[in-house]
Chains A and B, each alone.
Chain A
């Protein structure tokens, strides 16, 4: 029996454009196949680019011979490191460590070495085969153990170079293969260890995972000497613009980045990815070039960090929490990408939302000879929540307290400190976890081979709060919102239309939200970290208010009244008591002409918004879920019978889109927990680099019952009290599943929960008994 998602509304939402299930404005175009993605676009004179990638994990490049390839049919240009001597060809927003193509050395299997532009894709592919690369093998450190060994070969030898946009303060010098460290301490952790009756002390492993946005990384680049045009599958067009401008020595306004619809992102298209190689190839070819990654290429372009972790939690026999010590090592692959930020966010998530008299958290970001790891939905929180929450359950069991009751007693309350100096807790976690538990039948009679689990966590969300937007009302009253949030499936364009429509009291379908074109769209830092509704949405609200102000200004003249408070906006009109005038009439009156437009501009920066944006993070995203599992003890197969997820969103702009975010996030969490894992050989070769071997959830994995509960407490810093969502379920569900499996008698310290791993743990547990 399928149970449909349940909506729980705690606060009635005023107005009509927000809080309602407005159908996606882009749905019809996407269903019909008319919606345009980068791979559907072409530019005059465009040729096709293909990338030659390393087939060894770590080697010196003795020689690259492209001379035969250059003479092949249809070939326009062949790019290699020799073509990059006139620029500083390294990129990376945190660490500037990644060459556009390998220079003298390859550091992972799959690293770009050269690229070919040809009239057809087939000609480009044929030419790749004619490029001869001679290698001298170097020692490969393909995993954390090898990279952290005392005499480990170094992935990078040179000094650390800082990237242009990391927001991590002063970066430490590289230490062996450790490229970044972050941690914090509070209280006397050794004292806590000495006082503890209950000590949970375990080591854990978390796998590398592929985001699999179904549209792979795709770029069209055009280089005209003093201008670069890009059409790219990027989540952060303005950061890509800045990085490309710096790489190729142009002013920012000489680089234009256009982003149409994205076929999924999930973090895999954050920051700069395939854009530099596409631009470099177009620069050489003097033609526009399109590069479309295959799936195996996208898998080595970015992935989620695998991790080792040791966690200790100390408590008294009565279940009083005394302290937690956490040390973890994230494998960021051969280039840092967003690894240092992931490390910091993971450290923030490590304590979990509890009151700790003492804490010691230290995270390491480690280079290895594997494909670079960067952002994947709910990064950091997903890594740590299942570990911390499984230890909370262990303590509750040892203290003979129901895990839900244990959380009731120990979870942080609104207003309490989460981390020293940061934003205090802005959510009702106890209420949230009680709802998640109730939805899966918490407290019912035990059923053999079944288990129930809940989990609670927080994700530092919002990234750096810099967004701007403009809203234009044309003479006929139609509204266009220009905002840099990338529409990648989450529904950003629909939500932005709703926000503008709410302010202007018009129908959301009268609002158009085009894709980003950095030449016209106001600056927005990025699309990620659940920030679009909260931060960019606030900019849209402010911009729409300026348009409304202009309408009121004209209406005051028209109605010959002096006080704006006598007027109100409703249903596309400005009203004075029972008299009203439609917006187009006001615009005509304002300009004394049949044309013209009203423009509003809104910006969000750290000190705006009653101080709420000044504190880091912008908001704490709530990660709460429940799960019921069924275990087959003979085979180790784990089946998810039901899930519950909490979307604690402050105010629901569009409840239907929120449910879809939670359902999608939960399914990614399920895949991460049960079977997704990138497998490498000891020499750094990725073994499962196709969808045949790398399995993601199908519709047959959908649990019988999934419940999404929307909580609206009006406690967000965004428009109308909203805060972001969409990542919490990814972090929370694996933790709830691990706890449910432990409740069924099988505690696990390694993901994913493959039948073999679970079966071995069952044998081990039974042998101990």
Chain B
């Protein structure tokens, strides 16, 4: 620790840190623009000036940029010195010269870092009378608006997009007062983390396009701490509502998971809550295509009858909360409950549980992946499965930069210095996946092969770790083995997306070999859905077993699960047709709901409180944001059980051995802040409370009392000093923008003052005995290929695909083929291809990275159905097919 003196008071700060970060860690109000906790310092904006004094006698001092100045013991500085204050005011006046002063029509207004800094520095009146430069803005795709006139040239956008997220199509163009931050030409921003620009840009240049269409000021939003439903990463989000609609999602900092950034599937896909396909009434089928609306009581009676029928299977879901799954499991009994994943995925989850249980210390957090010095990405592309994980891996590829910087005596936060010194140096990142990934550009070596072949490769890597290769042995396998053995933090990432248990088996062999060799590996396994790691903890039937029983006439209750996305459609149809009565509880009209006898509407993550478990085994609570529209909608657990409060369900669930420690997930409904207050969902400036529903009744409605959580559905309460899991939005006096986060942190980039949200659960070996031997893929005959599912970032995930902006961003259903196979099949690039029971025609893409004899098909997009690994499929050319235009112009 180092002691420094700021304006007469001593502060303990971390040694070697920069002065800006140190001051902010002590919650000082020091203006800045270009510095960002995850991007480091470049000293570009000159906004963070302070006065540094030479010695105790020095009364004049000299101006320094706090973000570029390392702290040293005994250092004396002033934020308040008149020349520092004057300099900062001058800087902002000059940054504001060309600014259009259009805050009233700017989506950033009210939560703008530029507004905050302008007010903080006291620049309140414009003196510049010259002509302002004006720019033309660009079309950047469905997610982001562009309004370049608001730019203050801080360079944060390109430093984030290009340097941090690896994008190449957003650049700094031009020079001097005509700097332009944009693309080469109009077009969709290519990078799947582009949405973070909304929060990274301190002004209103990049704003959330879908949000701006039905815009609400931050102060009018009602928000709650929530968890993204987009994948198993479990990124923390602030979800915000107004007028019964989920308006937008912002990043909610979690030190171990998402840090400061989300992926675009999460940020823009979370508004599926507003889908037109929402179910809002309970219905009973009276004719083939006709449901009749029934009351809650009647619907509940149907549910009871089914539960009492003596022969009912319950199919849970990895996209439903623990509480909802638990309620269903309790109702039908463990022996009749299935977790709702298909058997291949369930088997792979069991393999992960076994591996995590055997080597608990090796299970990494997501941000720990950033600290890897050698990384192996094995089996599937995390850019598709769990995008935020891929962003963490990208940072690991840069670790060598920091080692080089330390050796050269450059502080690691000196971003330009560190990058300039390291140039193109990269830490070893190896990638073994079926197709090239979005991380290949920073990989040292890649190998792309069909999953079954990857499994063989993985076992070879494990062998070579056990009997290390000689120093001069060359090749992919030898290089990986050697580098992993030499690494301080050898890091391996795998997932279930390959749908090949042998891949997971090989992955486990690599981890085991590293541990046997005395190394301390870290690993993480991802899966597609938000609660895969939670629901698989319930024992019970396989999905196949459940479908078999249905086919033989059992009744069924299906919880938030479209079975057509899980299993072969024909098999699902047969089960639904053969079943007695089928009751579906879901939030959306799905193919399964349409085939049901009884449909009950349930709330989404934004309208109820629920617990989910992410790929690190961390249980987290997503709190209810607002009350669902439609009297009949209730949380599934309310339909399914007699529990009164969500905490009661959680306690009952926590009594199961697989959920030991779950109660600690977050504070319960009775929690109050130090002043005995609730935490308000609405902001202190929330407006229109008495008028918002005046078109219905002029009487102000009574605000609902929340009996399930410590939050209020109003502005009454205290949003400060609470537990870390209970922050509904960040806001602090003088800091209206999301930059106010530092006031909720113990130190910048560190823990939240109220502690980290969530609790990591232990893992027990699974009861099943998936052997994970490579499935015997037969070599297909001529004219046939083996089909391999290939999930996409956009379009494979069920829920986000309900959102228009995400649909716009989806690539068409695509089939990747090896050029040799394509030639033999008479197919060329951009042809249409299909197979006998395919639901759509796929766009053919050729890649010599596809192992001959295989075809990779994008999952979900255009069909809403599963693609399961299948041998010997005959591909047919669809000559009526016209290829869609290539939407993402690369540039």
B partners with A: no
Chain B residues with CB under 8 Å of chain A are: none
